[in-house]
Amino acid sequence: MKIKDVEIQQLEAKVARFRQQHGLGRGRSIDMEKLLLHLGVRTVFKPLDGLFSGMAIKHDGKAFMLVNSDHSRGKQNFTIAHELYHLCVQPNFTPHPSQAGRFGSQTDPKSCLQIGLPRCSSCPISASWW
């Protein structure tokens, strides 16, 4: 299901605020492990079942993340960005099971790409991608 341009703009605005609040700028790539330390997210990198990428939990104002260390660095970074979206951007986050690559109509994958990638004026993310 494609999402509307207005939804993309709202997501971009939320992610831009997140990046600005944490001094990430719009045009720089991010060292995800440093960002996790900066945010105080307790993170464990551990070999897990190949289909399991990671998970995040927030409880009493504290955040925890588990990341599959058997995956490539790129996939780990995508997982971290995805889980950071849940922890830091998504309103009213509640843990839920999901299947990697099966996002359906959810809009969070689009935002995790924007958290982890620098803004590029020549390659904007548009609703037509989704």
- pLDDT score at 70: 96
26 vs 11, residue with greater confidence? 11
Q: What is the mean pLDDT of the chain?
A: 75
Q: Which amino acid is at 82?
A: H
Task: Tell how strand 54-59 and strand 42-46 pair up.
Answer: unpaired
55: helix, strand or coil: strand
CA distance 30 to 9: 21
| Prediction pTM value | 0.70
70: helix, strand or coil: coil
Inter-residue contact 105 to 1 (CB < 8 Å): yes
CA distance 95 to 63: 12
Q: If pLDDT is split at 50, 70 and 90, which confidence band does 116 have? A: low
Place of tokens 């605005």: 13
130 vs 119, residue with greater confidence? 119
Q: Which pLDDT tens digit goes with each residue over 45-67?
A: 999 988 899 999 988 889 999 99
Query: What value does the mean pLDDT take over residues 93-100?
Result: 64
Q: Select the highest-mean-pLDDT range: 1-5, 42-46, 73-77.
A: 42-46
118 vs 90, residue with greater confidence? 90
